[in-house]
Amino acid sequence: MWGFSHLRTQNYISQAQKFKLWNAPQWIKLGHYEKGWFSYSSPFTKGFFLSPAGHKSPELELLKTIELLFSNTTIQTIETSSEITDTSYLKQHIQCRYLARTKWLTTVLNIDPQDIVPCHEMQAWKKQLNGKSVALIFAAADMGNASSSFGHTFLKIINPENAANKDLIDYGMNYAATTGDSEGVLYALKGLLGFYNGQFAMLPYHQKIREYINLEGRDIWEYHLNLTPEEVDFLIDHLVEMELARAPYYFFSDNCSYQILKTLEAVRPEINIADRFKHFVIPIDTVKKLHELSSNYDLKIIASVKYKKSLKTDYLQSYSQLNMLQKKAVSTAVEKLSVPEDYELTPQERAEVLETAMKYYSVRAFRDSANTFENEKYQLYLGRSNLGQQVVTKQTRKEEPPEESHDSSALYWGFGLRDQLNFSSLKFRNAFHDIEQKDFGTVAFSHNEMGSLEIRYNQLKQSTNSVDTSQSEFKNLQIHRFTLLNLVNLNPVTPLDTYTSWRVSAAVMSGWKPDLDLAAGYSFDVDIFQRSRIAYMLAVKSSSAFDQFENYKYLNGLGPNVLFVSRLSENWGFSLDLYYYLIDKNADFFRYKAKFNYTLRKNFDVQIHSENGYDGRSETQAQLVWNFIL
C-alpha span between 340 and 350 (Å, rounded) = 10
Where in the chain are all domains bearing CATH 2.40.160.40?
Answer: 408-628
* Cβ burial 410-445 (10 Å sphere, 16+ → b, else e): bebebebebeebebebebebbbbbbbbbbbbbbbbb
CA distances in angstroms from 234 to 26, 33, 198, listed in the order given: 12, 18, 22
Local structure of residue 54 (DSSP, 8 states): G
**Whose CA is closest to 431, among 136, 138, 151, 145?**
151
Q: Say which amino acid occupies 277.
A: F
pLDDT at position 468: 46
Divide the 630 residues of the chain into consecutive groups of 10 and give the mean pLDDT of each group: 78 93 95 89 91 94 94 72 53 89 94 90 91 91 69 89 73 83 61 79 81 78 92 95 90 86 92 80 87 74 88 87 89 90 87 91 84 88 83 65 89 92 93 90 88 91 50 74 92 89 92 89 91 95 71 81 95 95 80 95 96 86 94
Torsion of CA 81, 25, 281, 224, to 10 degrees: -90
C-alpha span between 447 and 149 (Å, rounded) = 11
Q: What is the CATH number of domain 408-628?
A: 2.40.160.40
C-alpha span between 214 and 209 (Å, rounded) = 7
How many Å is the maximal CA-CA distance in the chain?
106
C-alpha span between 382 and 329 (Å, rounded) = 17
pTM: 0.86
* 128 HSE (CA, 13 A, CB side): 7
C-alpha span between 34 and 41 (Å, rounded) = 5
Beta-sheet strands, E only, within 495-551 = 501-509, 513-526, 531-546
Counting DSSP H helices and E strands in the chain, the numbers are: 15, 21
pLDDT at position 297: 64
